[in-house]
């Protein structure tokens, strides 16, 4: 039996991206401990009989004193728990956890045989081209180089571009990296959409975007495309926007703006929803005009699983799910006009809708099912 810690900056991350893996490890007889700040999923962790250790962390903070305190807290957790395997997710856990292990190895001879996995499901704000992000990289990259310079550390990415960027920055050596899917789903829990079932009964055309509501996810482009199409055909197009602002991240969409769009009838803002599979099954197309540093957008994986045509941005993270012209369309960044044109074309071509829906489902079953992908993670853990 191995003692395994999952460490993240947010309970939402663990619940959405590691929970199936944690359950699989628990079923195999391993002791699984979840380490993260308090949040709305903690009761679920406890209900499912997982041990939870609170890590006090403000994931948005840049205050050096708060960050030192958070680092010391995680250092003590790792020292006291003495795990066999530690799996960190997102930038702060990856840095603070790996640095803790390096220091514990060097000065106390603890965790000498630990397996440390650091996962980047997208490289996020710090590796964006924003001014503050560029300044942060001047501090973060040297720290990463030191913390990851350890034989026990493996760094995983959701796509090859992120991996190559870290190698280019000399943060990691190629031999200590892997590209693995973290955004897998349980295919059996997703209903087949109406385009696959032949259940479409009216002329409405439902367009859905579900995400953390950040400007970089293409929310403005989604709204601008809605404005264009509603001028042409107000009765047929319905734009559904599901999610809530992630106020722990820069560039979130303010609630007053969301309410304004909703009240004007441009989009139907649904807020946070737990029934995304059902919403997708009743939709006609999924849209994500993102220009965020994505790993592999889980929303696109879920849309493909239900069986939807998808329109998204022509970046590698999205190309992992969408093949242009086969199960959807790839568009340019920040191009609401092109988005509107593709939506109108799809709406007018029912046979193409059905064909793309079928290709999406086939791709999801082949590549994104949890059973196959959990095996890949267990292999990485040497289990």
Overall pTM > 0.95: no
Do 317 and 256 fall within a single domain? yes
Indicate if the pLDDT at residue 5 is higher than 70.
Answer: yes
Do 318 and 179 fall within a single domain? no
Do 13 and 56 fall within a single domain? yes
Give strand ranges (E) for 252-352: 268-271, 285-288, 310-313, 328-331
Do 159 and 302 fall within a single domain? no
Report the C-alpha gap between 165 and 257 in whole angstroms: 35
Q: Give me the chain's average pLDDT, please.
A: 93
Beta bridge partners of 53: 35
Do 158 and 42 fall within a single domain? yes
For residues 332-358, average pLDDT: 95
Q: Which two tokens stand for residue 257?
A: 């703006």
- 256 vs 108, 224, 245, 252, 262, CA distance in Å? 52, 17, 11, 12, 10
The tens digit of pLDDT for each residue in 171-222 reads: 999 999 999 999 999 999 899 988 887 766 667 899 999 999 999 999 999 9
Q: Which two tokens stand for residue 144?
A: 């990463």
Do 61 and 209 fall within a single domain? no
Do 345 and 201 fall within a single domain? yes
**Phi–psi pair at 371, nearest 5 degrees:** -60, -45
- 281 vs 190, 241, 289, 323, 349, CA distance in Å? 8, 15, 20, 21, 19
The count of structural domains within the chain is 2
In this prediction, residue 287 carries a pLDDT of 98
Do 179 and 123 fall within a single domain? yes
Do 207 and 179 fall within a single domain? no
Do 43 and 162 fall within a single domain? yes
DSSP letter assigned to residue 53 = E
Do 155 and 280 fall within a single domain? no
CATH of the domain at 53: 3.40.50.2000
Report the C-alpha gap between 135 and 280 in whole angstroms: 39
- 9: domain range? 3-184+370-380
Q: Which of 9-23, 57-71, 131-145, 202-216 has the highest mean pLDDT?
A: 9-23
Give residue 1's pLDDT band: very low, low, confident or very high (50, 70, 90). very high
The tens digit of pLDDT for each residue in 219-252 reads: 999 999 999 998 877 668 999 999 999 887 788 9
In this prediction, residue 202 carries a pLDDT of 67
In this prediction, residue 111 carries a pLDDT of 84
Indicate if the pLDDT at residue 123 is higher than 90.
Answer: no
In this prediction, residue 115 carries a pLDDT of 94
Within its chain, how far is the Cα of 35 from the centroid? 19
Identify whether the C-beta of residue 91 lies closer than 8 Å to the C-beta of residue 124: yes
Do 175 and 147 fall within a single domain? yes
Indicate if the pLDDT at residue 129 is higher than 90.
Answer: no
CA atoms within 13 Å, Cβ hemisphere of 379: 8
In this prediction, residue 234 carries a pLDDT of 61
């Amino acid at each position: 039996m191995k003692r395994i810690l999952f460490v993240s900056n947010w309970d939402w991350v663990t619940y959405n991206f590691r929970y199936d893996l944690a359950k699989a490890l628990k079923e195999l007889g391993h002791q699984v401990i979840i380490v993260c700040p308090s949040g709305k999923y903690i009761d679920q962790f406890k209900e499912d009989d997982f041990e939870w250790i609170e890590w006090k962390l403000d994931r948005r903070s840049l205050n050096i004193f708060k960050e030192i305190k958070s680092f010391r807290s995680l250092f003590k957790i790792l020292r006291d728990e003495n795990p066999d395997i530690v799996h960190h997710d997102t930038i702060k856990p990856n840095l603070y956890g790996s640095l803790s292990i390096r220091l514990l190895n060097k000065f106390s001879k603890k965790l000498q045989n630990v397996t440390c996995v650091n996962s980047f499901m997208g490289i996020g704000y710090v590796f964006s081209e924003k001014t503050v992000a560029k300044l942060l990289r001047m501090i973060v990259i040297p720290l990463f180089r030191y913390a990851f310079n350890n034989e026990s550390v493996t760094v995983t990415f959701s796509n090859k571009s992120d991996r190559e960027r870290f190698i280019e920055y000399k943060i990691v050596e190629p031999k200590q990296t892997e590209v693995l899917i973290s955004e897998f789903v349980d295919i059996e829990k997703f209903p087949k959409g109406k385009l696959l079932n032949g259940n479409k009964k009216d002329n409405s055309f439902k367009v859905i975007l579900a995400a953390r509501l950040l400007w970089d996810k293409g929310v403005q482009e989604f709204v601008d495309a809605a404005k264009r199409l509603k001028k042409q055909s107000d009765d047929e197009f319905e734009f559904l926007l599901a999610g809530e602002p992630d106020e722990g991240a820069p560039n979130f969409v303010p609630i007053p703006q969301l309410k304004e769009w909703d009240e004007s009838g441009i989009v139907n803002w649904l807020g946070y929803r737990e029934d995304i599979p059902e919403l997708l099954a009743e939709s006609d197309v999924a849209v994500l005009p993102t220009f965020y540093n994505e790993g592999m957008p889980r929303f696109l994986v879920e849309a493909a699983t239900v069986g939807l045509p998808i329109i998204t941005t022509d970046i590698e993270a999205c190309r992992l799910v969408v093949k242009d012209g086969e199960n959807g369309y790839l568009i340019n960044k920040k191009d609401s006009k092109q988005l509107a044109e593709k939506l109108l074309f799809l709406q007018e071509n029912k046979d193409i809708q059905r064909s793309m829906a079928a290709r999406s489902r086939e791709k999801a079953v082949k590549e994104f099912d949890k059973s196959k992908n959990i095996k890949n993670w267990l292999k990485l853990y040497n289990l």
